[in-house]
Structure 1
Amino acid sequence: MKFLRNLSRVLPGSDSKKPKFGIICDIDGVITRGRNVLPAAKAAFNKLCDERKKLKVPIVFVTNAGNCLKSTKAGHLTNWLELNFSQLGKSMKPIDAIVLLGEPVRWETSLQLIIDGLLSKGYAEMPPSAVQYPHIPILACNMDLQWMAEASMPRFGHGAFLTCLEALYKKISGMDIIYSALVGKPSEITYYYSNNILISLAADLTTYPQRLYGIGDNIFTDVYGANLYEKYLHEKPGAHSSPSARVLDTIIKQEFTETQKLPESCCSILVETGVYSRKEDQKEHSNLDHNPRDFQPTHEDLKPKYIVKDVLEAVELIFELEKFH
Structure 2
Amino acid sequence: MIHTRIAVTAASITTACRAVHPTLLSTKSLTHLPIANAFRAATCSRQLHVNSTVDIIPEKHFNVVFDIDGVLIKGKEVLPGTRTALGLLKSNNVPYIFLTNGGGLKEVDKAEQLSKKIGMHISPRQLILSHSPMRELVSKYEDKNVMVVGGNGSDCRHVAQYYGFKHIVTPEEVHSVFPYVCPSSACEARSVPLAEKYLQNVHRPVEAIMVFHDSVDWGRDLQVMLDALVSRDGYLNTVKTQAELHTTKQTVPLFFSNSDLVWSNEHPNPRFAQGTFRTCLERIFKDMTGQKLEYTLYGKPMSATYQYAETVLNKIAPIHRGPDGKPRRRTVYAIGDNPYADIAGANAYGWESVLVRTGVFRPEGEENHHMHPATTVVDDVEDAVRWIISKEIMKEHPF
- What TM-score does the superposition give when structure 1 sets the normalisation length? 0.73
Stretch deviating more after TM superposition (63-72 or 162-171): 63-72
Q: 2:375 matched to which residue of 1?
A: 305
Choose which of 331, 345, 356 in structure 2 pairs with 1:225.
Answer: 345
Q: 1:70 matched to which residue of 2?
A: 107
Q: Which runs of no fewer than 5 residues in structure 1 stay unpaired? A: 1-12, 231-265, 287-298
Post-superposition offset of 1:171: 0.7
Rounded to whole Å, the distance in 1 between the matches of 2:117 and 2:78 is 6
Choose which of 301, 304, 319 in structure 2 pairs with 1:186.
Answer: 301
| Match status 1:215 vs 2:330 | no
| Match status 1:25 vs 2:66 | yes
Question: Where is the helix percentage greater, Structure 1 or Structure 2?
Answer: 2
Post-superposition offset of 1:209: 6.0
Rounded to whole Å, the distance in 2 between the matches of 1:137 and 1:208 is 40
Contact 1:308/1:314, CA 8 A, preserved across alignment: yes
Q: 1:45 matched to which residue of 2?
A: 86
Provide the secondary structure at the position in 1 that maps to 2:105. Answer: coil
Q: 2:353 matched to which residue of 1?
A: 268
Rounded to whole Å, the distance in 2 between the matches of 1:138 and 1:45 is 37
Provide the secondary structure at the position in 2 that maps to 1:30. Answer: coil
Q: 1:172 matched to which residue of 2?
A: 288
Provide the secondary structure at the position in 2 that maps to 1:221. Answer: helix
Post-superposition offset of 1:203: 3.3
Rounded to whole Å, the distance in 2 between the matches of 1:135 and 1:33 is 39
Post-superposition offset of 1:282: 5.4
Q: Which runs of no fewer than 5 residues in structure 2 stay unpaired? A: 1-52, 126-131, 145-206, 322-326
Post-superposition offset of 1:109: 0.8
Name the aligned partner's letter for residue 80 of structure 1.
K
Q: 1:123 matched to which residue of 2?
A: 235
| Match status 1:195 vs 2:310 | yes
Rounded to whole Å, the distance in 2 between the matches of 1:22 and 1:46 is 14
Write out per-residue CA displacement over residues 31-74 of structure 1, whole angstroms, 9 at most, x where no aligned residue.
00011000110111121122xxxx61111101111232212210
Q: After the TM superposition, which residues 1-20 of structure 1 pair with which residues of structure 2 at under 5 Å, given as runs?
A: 17-20=58-61
Contact 1:66/1:102, CA 8 A, preserved across alignment: yes
Post-superposition offset of 1:312: 0.6
Name the aligned partner's letter for residue 35 of structure 1.
K
Rounded to whole Å, the distance in 2 between the matches of 1:36 and 1:67 is 19
Rounded to whole Å, the distance in 2 between the matches of 1:57 and 1:208 is 16
- Over the aligned positions, Cα root-mean-square deviation in angstroms equals 2.5
| Match status 1:83 vs 2:203 | no
Contact 2:282/2:293, CA 8 A, preserved across alignment: yes
| Match status 1:106 vs 2:180 | no
Q: 2:33 matched to which residue of 1?
A: none
Q: 1:148 matched to which residue of 2?
A: 264
Contact 1:202/1:208, CA 8 A, preserved across alignment: no
Rounded to whole Å, the distance in 2 between the matches of 1:153 and 1:167 is 24
Name the aligned partner's letter for residue 111 of structure 1.
L
Cα distance, 1:154–1:321 mapped onto 2, change above 3 Å: same
Provide the secondary structure at the position in 2 that maps to 1:56. Answer: coil
Rounded to whole Å, the distance in 2 between the matches of 1:113 and 1:27 is 31
Post-superposition offset of 1:215: 0.6
Write out per-residue CA displacement over residues 201-239 of structure 1, whole angstroms, 9 at most, x where no aligned residue.
013766666111111000111111111212xxxxxxxxx
Find runs of 4+ consecutive structure 1 residues off by over 4 angstroms.
204-209
Q: 2:393 matched to which residue of 1?
A: 323
Q: How many residues align?
A: 257
Name the aligned partner's letter for residue 115 of structure 2.
T
- What TM-score does the superposition give when structure 2 sets the normalisation length? 0.60
Q: 1:139 matched to which residue of 2?
A: 255
Rounded to whole Å, the distance in 2 between the matches of 1:18 and 1:77 is 29
Rounded to whole Å, the distance in 1 between the matches of 2:90 and 2:318 is 18
Q: 2:197 matched to which residue of 1?
A: none
Name the aligned partner's letter for residue 354 of structure 2.
I
Write out per-residue CA displacement over residues 12-34 of structure 1, whole angstroms, 9 at most, x where no aligned residue.
x9x78341011111000000001
Rounded to whole Å, the distance in 2 between the matches of 1:208 and 1:82 is 34
Rounded to whole Å, the distance in 2 between the matches of 1:81 and 1:208 is 33
